[in-house]
Amino acid sequence: MVNDAGQGLYGRFVDTDINKELDIIQLNISAYVVLTKLFLRDMVYQQRGKILNVASIAGKVPGPFQSVYHGTKAFVHSFTEAVRAEIADTGVTITSLLPGATDTDFFNKAHMEDSKILDTELADPAKVALDGFNALMDGDDMVVSGFKNKAQVAMSNITPDSVVAKQMLKQQEPRDSH
């Protein structure tokens, strides 16, 4: 099973619509929990199966202008790692895929057309999907798709969160800022 739901909402948290954010939390978190629970029970009973949960490198770094999205993806990754530990001896694999900015319709749906993040090269969705598939088939706990994303996650692991948040603010702010 592949859990690949994810929506975001662009803007300063103080200005965004709480109802849209609650819908994002429902989709990005609750749907993963429900589907994982439903499929995992049968898989554990049968002692075989594989689940790929699409998290994001967004879950590894604070995300100004996308605070709720980044928070939900942090949940997905942490949730996946926790469940993986619980089912380690069952014959079931659960893998967390952490892509970066990918060339999908996500940015349009999140109203991010003016974000500086779109000035960077976006990952090929087929490459991201292949990375996730290969990691799942290999039984890996997680995979960060793309060299640039691996470097960003590695640097964020040794950099204070407040500094990373300021860096992400600059990467994701609207183009007309400053």
pLDDT band at 75 (very low <50, low <70, confident <90, very high): very high
Tell me how far apart the alpha carbons of residues 137 and 52 are, in angstroms, rounded to a whole number: 10
Q: What are the pLDDT digits (tens) for 86-125?
A: 999 999 999 999 999 898 998 889 998 989 888 888 999 9
Question: Taking 80 as the threshold, does the pLDDT of residue 77 lie above it?
Answer: yes
Is 69 assigned a catalytic role?
A: yes
Pairing verdict, β 2-3 and 92-98: unpaired
Q: In the prediction, which pLDDT does 94 show?
A: 98
Q: What are the pLDDT digits (tens) for 12-58?
A: 999 999 999 999 999 999 999 999 999 999 999 999 999 999 999 99
Which member of 10, 32, 45, 69 is catalytic?
A: 69
Tell me how far apart the alpha carbons of residues 11 and 111 are, in angstroms, rounded to a whole number: 9
Could you tell me which residues come within 8 angstroms of residue 154 by beta carbon, excluding any fewer than 6 positions away?
none
Could you tell me which residues come within 8 angstroms of residue 131 by beta carbon, excluding any fewer than 6 positions away?
97, 99, 143, 145, 146
Q: The tokens of 92 are what?
A: 């079931």
8 Å CB contact between 115 and 175: yes
pTM comes to 0.91
Provide the CATH number for the domain formed by 2-172 in this structure: 3.40.50.720
Tell me how far apart the alpha carbons of residues 28 and 72 are, in angstroms, rounded to a whole number: 6
Tell me how far apart the alpha carbons of residues 61 and 156 are, in angstroms, rounded to a whole number: 7
pLDDT band at 175 (very low <50, low <70, confident <90, very high): confident
Question: Taking 60 as the threshold, does the pLDDT of residue 173 lie above it?
Answer: yes
